[in-house]
């Protein structure tokens, strides 16, 4: 089990990835909770998220940062590394492509300022590359949900165990001294 808690004067967020398979989201923001549970389901990650804060924007941003930090800690060394998915949902069609190889980059956009910031913050904190290509969609709710589902499926592929470090560099070793 991996648990990360982020506390500021504005928010307190805890994200856990637990092996028991349960999924929970309690952020005080119903649509964010729905999207987090959707992400957990499609990525097959047993996520538990709890957040409290002063403003909706701060809660969503800090959940993304904490989730990203948690994901960074659970990426297997022998991860498949890359994942891609295209998901249709009613009027929406979104493609997500992910690389969990340790380089932060985000390209969107999605038609919702909160979730645009959410995806960018998550990609930065998780040190992953995420491309979201909204091919179609009129209803912002459908487009965001479609993007979350596509990201979840792509992330599931990328986190799957492979048989070797998927890089010509091999494993990256860091040494930090005070």
CA–CA dist 103, 162 (Å, integer): 19
Q: Where are the domains of the chain?
A: 2-159
Provide CB contacts within 8 A for 140, sequence distance 6+.
Answer: 110, 111, 112
| Cα 127 from Cα 125, distance rounded (Å) | 6
Q: How far is CA 86 from CA 39, 123, 142, 152, in A?
A: 15, 19, 14, 11
Give the largest Cα separation in the chain, rounded.
53
**What is the rounded distance in angstroms from the CA atom of residue 4 to the CA atom of residue 147?**
25
Q: Give dist(CA 69, CA 129) in Å, integer.
A: 14
| DSSP state for residue 4 in the 8-state scheme | E
2-159, what's its fold? Ribosomal Protein S5; domain 2 (3.30.230)
Confidence band of 150 (pLDDT split at 50, 70, 90): very high
Cβ 4 vs Cβ 116: under 8 Å: no
- Share the mean pLDDT of the chain: 94
Judged against a pLDDT cut of 80, whether residue 163 lies above it is answered with no
pLDDT in the model for residue 172: 62
Please report the pLDDT score of residue 77 as a whole number: 86
pLDDT digits (tens, 9 = 90+) for 23-62: 999 999 999 999 999 999 999 999 999 999 999 999 999 9
Tokens describing residue 77? 């060394």
Contact between 36 and 21 under an 8 Å Cβ cutoff? The reply is no
Is residue 19 scored above 80 in pLDDT? no
Indicate if the pLDDT at residue 124 is higher than 60.
yes
């Amino acid at each position: 089990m991996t648990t990360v808690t982020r506390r500021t004067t504005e928010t307190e967020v805890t994200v856990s990835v637990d092996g028991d398979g349960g999924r929970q989201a309690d952020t005080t923001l119903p649509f964010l909770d729905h999207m987090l549970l959707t992400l957990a389901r499609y990525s097959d990650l047993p996520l538990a998220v709890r957040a409290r804060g002063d403003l909706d924007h701060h809660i969503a941003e800090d959940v993304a940062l904490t989730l990203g930090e948690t994901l960074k800690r659970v990426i297997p060394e022998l991860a498949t590394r890359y994942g891609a998915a295209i998901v249709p949902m009613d009027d929406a069609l979104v493609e997500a492509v992910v690389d969990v190889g340790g380089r932060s980059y985000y390209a969107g956009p999605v038609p919702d300022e909160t979730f645009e910031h959410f995806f960018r913050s998550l990609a930065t904190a998780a040190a992953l590359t995420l491309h979201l290509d909204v091919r179609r969609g009129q209803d912002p709710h459908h487009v965001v949900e479609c993007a979350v589902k596509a990201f979840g499926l792509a992330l599931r592929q990328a986190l799957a165990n492979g048989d070797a470090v998927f890089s010509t560099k091999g494993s990256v070793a860091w040494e930090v001294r005070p």
